[in-house]
Amino acid sequence: MYFGSFNPVHNGHLAIAEFCKVKGLFDQIWLVVSPNNPFKNKEDLISEEHRLNMVKLAIKGISYLHACDIEFFLPKPSFTIHTLQKLAASYPSFDFSLLLGSDNIHNFHKWKDYEEILRKYMIYVYPRYDNVIEHTLRHPHIVYLDAPLLPISATSIRTALQLKKNVNEFLPDAVARYIENHISTQLN
């Protein structure tokens, strides 16, 4: 489970997913679009429907990637433990793991029922360009990945779009077109 706001989804997200697949870490990677992360400002978010549409466009034709909207149907804000409980009940034969950016691991102790997540699920942590990995949280279920450090963030993409800069090199082509056709006015 690759949780995120995907605000918007970008080439960095896809590169991390591909790295994990090439390394044989997962058979499938589900990109779980979080409508309301309790640690993020909801006003900064593009609508959840637009974010889900962009994820679907970004992963079209990539067989091991799946868009997941399960959190759209759960109480807000989205708590990972509730999502995992729902997924485990809905897919009892699946063995779920979490894929998180290093920025999330620093605040992991603040997550609702984080001890239960650590006890039941493997957590794979990839480095974020804007957040150096510190292996401060040690646990047998946490694996720090030696994934490429990519200088891409959704925040910098949104900022560049507001400044009318071209960000197409950071976005899948279909996502760039979607932003231009559907949400560019929301980013101004």
Rounded CA separation 13/2 (Å): 9
Residue 122, beta-bridge partner list = 97
Q: Say which residue the tokens 């056709």 belong to.
A: 181
77, with CB counted inside 10 A (0-12, 13-18, 19+), is middle
At 134-158, the pLDDT tens digits run: 656 788 999 999 998 888 899 899 9
Domain parsing of the chain, residue ranges: 2-187
CATH topology of domain 2-187: Rossmann fold (3.40.50)
- Segment holding 32, helix H or strand E: strand 29-33
At 78-129, the pLDDT tens digits run: 899 999 999 999 999 999 999 998 888 888 989 999 999 999 999 999 987 6
H helix runs in 23-153, sequence order: 48-59, 80-90, 102-106, 114-120
Q: Does the pLDDT of residue 133 top 60, yes or no?
A: no
If you average pLDDT over each of 1-15, 120-134, 148-162, 173-187, which comes out highest? 1-15
Rounded CA separation 164/16 (Å): 27
Tokens at 52, concatenated: 């889900």
At 138 the pLDDT is 84
Identify whether the C-beta of residue 39 lies closer than 8 Å to the C-beta of residue 107.
Answer: yes
Rounded CA separation 70/151 (Å): 29
At 185 the pLDDT is 66
At 134 the pLDDT is 60
Global confidence as pTM: 0.92
58, with CB counted inside 10 A (0-12, 13-18, 19+), is buried
Using pLDDT thresholds of 50, 70 and 90, give the confidence band for residue 186.
low
At 25-78, the pLDDT tens digits run: 999 999 999 998 777 777 778 999 999 999 999 999 999 999 999 999 999 888
